[in-house]
Structure 1
């Protein structure tokens, strides 16, 4: 009979630990996912901003030396990520391939102009800064016009700010919910040991002595849960990138390091805090209140 009781208690203890670990793991996994989204928002925004093309059209009477000097100046400019010179002949050839017809032969002349295509750094791909860059470039007498999609730039700028704010709000909300869920799981686990806590208190054990084993145990469970959550997150991210290669732009070693560090720290802090306050609550209860 004692063996069956010991076996039952051991099984119940294992089940309790498993449920706490599982709860913390799932919450930390989702919390890590939202942290990843928050940290990746800026990278995604930068990626789209850097796709904005700025084309500098050069007048036909421009001197080769002036064009070369402009290219040299732009190559070291703070706002330029990359540039490419496209001659009017190259542009005509590409356009002919696109439309499937040699339009130069058809109209008898090449109406296109020499151009320099710029790819800007993300921090400069904003409406105000692009306007300043456009005005500065058009001050060159041999520059015909500076072209970029103003409506697209404004749309990207507006949506990036909006998405960033929404993601931040949802992440903060989910972090709060995560803390509540992990706290509830740990409190439920400690609730089953409330009589042990009170018995130890009645025989003279100090509060810190009573709390210590519970904190150690649940912090260990929090660390274990954090590592399992990291593994699940890594496998999920690997599966997403494998199925949708375009999402590979989100994979950044530093972002992943911060996400994993955040998962580990949150697992430890929430487990420690929840255990501390849960044991404190039962230590403050009177003996009769333990039955309710």
Structure 2
């Protein structure tokens, strides 16, 4: 009879631990995936911004030395991702291929101009900064015109800001919910030991002494849950990287390492804080309140 009761208690304890580990693993996995989404949303937004081209059209009388100097200045500028010189002949060939006919032969001359196509770094793609760059380039005597899609620049910048804001809001809400879920699981596991806690307190054990084994036990469960979550997140990263290589998930491995370490530490931190407050609650209850 005694062995049956002990086996029952062990199964109950294992079930309780499994429930805590599973809930921690699932919640941290979802948080990790959300973090991955946040990081790659910014990356995709930056790539979209960096596809916008500012075309610097040069005057016919622009000297080769002036053009080379401008190219060097643009390449060395903080706002430049790339600067490509496009001769009017190359521009004509590209335009002819696009429209499907030789417009130069039809007109009898090439109306296009030599230009430098500048792609900007994402941080500089705002309506104000692009306008400032365009005005600065237009002041040069050998520059005929600076052209870019103003509507597209404004639209992309505003869209990125909105998306970023709502993703941050969703992240904050989901993190709060995740903390509540893990906290509830840990509180339920400690609830089953409330009489043990009160008995230890009644025989003179200090609160710190009583809390210590519970905190250490749940930290270990939190670490185990976090490890399971990391394995699952690693599997998702591997799958996405194989099937969607354009996302470039592994281009900046240090960011992924920070994310994974953050998920692991978050599992430990939430377990520690939740266990502390859960044990504190039962330590502060009167004996007759333990039955409710």
Which aligned pairs between 1:164-203 and structure 2 lie closer than 5 A?
164-203=164-203
Aligned to 1:50: 50
Deviation at 1:192, TM superposition (A): 0.8
Is 1:163 paired with 2:163? yes
Aligned to 1:21: 21
Measured on the aligned residues, the alpha-carbon RMSD in Å equals: 1.7
Q: Give me the whole-angstrom Cα distance separating, in 2, the residues matched to 1:240 and 1:77.
A: 35
Deviations 1:191-218 (A, max 9, x none): 1111111122222222111111111100
Contact 1:36–1:255 under 8 Å retained in 2: no
> CA 1:18–1:251 in 2, change beyond 3 Å: closer, same or farther?
farther
Is 1:59 paired with 2:69? no
Aligned to 1:114: 114
Aligned to 2:223: 223
Question: Matched residue of 2:248: which SS?
Answer: helix
Deviation at 1:251, TM superposition (A): 5.3
Is 1:272 paired with 2:272? yes
Question: Matched residue of 1:55: which SS?
Answer: strand
Q: Give me the whole-angstrom Cα distance separating, in 2, the residues matched to 1:121 and 1:261.
A: 29
Aligned to 2:9: 9
Deviation at 1:250, TM superposition (A): 7.5
Q: Give me the whole-angstrom Cα distance separating, in 1, the residues matched to 2:116 and 2:164.
A: 33
Aligned residues: 292
Deviation at 1:59, TM superposition (A): 1.8
Deviation at 1:107, TM superposition (A): 2.1
Aligned to 1:205: 205
Aligned to 1:237: 237
Deviation at 1:44, TM superposition (A): 3.1
Deviation at 1:101, TM superposition (A): 2.3
TM-score with structure 2 setting the length: 0.94
Contact 2:60–2:113 under 8 Å retained in 1: yes
Structure 2 runs not aligned, ≥5 long: none
Deviation at 1:249, TM superposition (A): 5.2
Q: Give me the whole-angstrom Cα distance separating, in 1, the residues matched to 2:90 and 2:78.
A: 28
Aligned to 2:147: 147
Deviation at 1:289, TM superposition (A): 1.4
Deviations 1:21-47 (A, max 9, x none): 000111111122223334444433322
Deviations 1:87-126 (A, max 9, x none): 1111111222223322222222111111111111222221
> CA 1:46–1:185 in 2, change beyond 3 Å: closer, same or farther?
same
> CA 1:249–1:198 in 2, change beyond 3 Å: closer, same or farther?
closer
Contact 2:40–2:247 under 8 Å retained in 1: no
Contact 2:126–2:153 under 8 Å retained in 1: yes
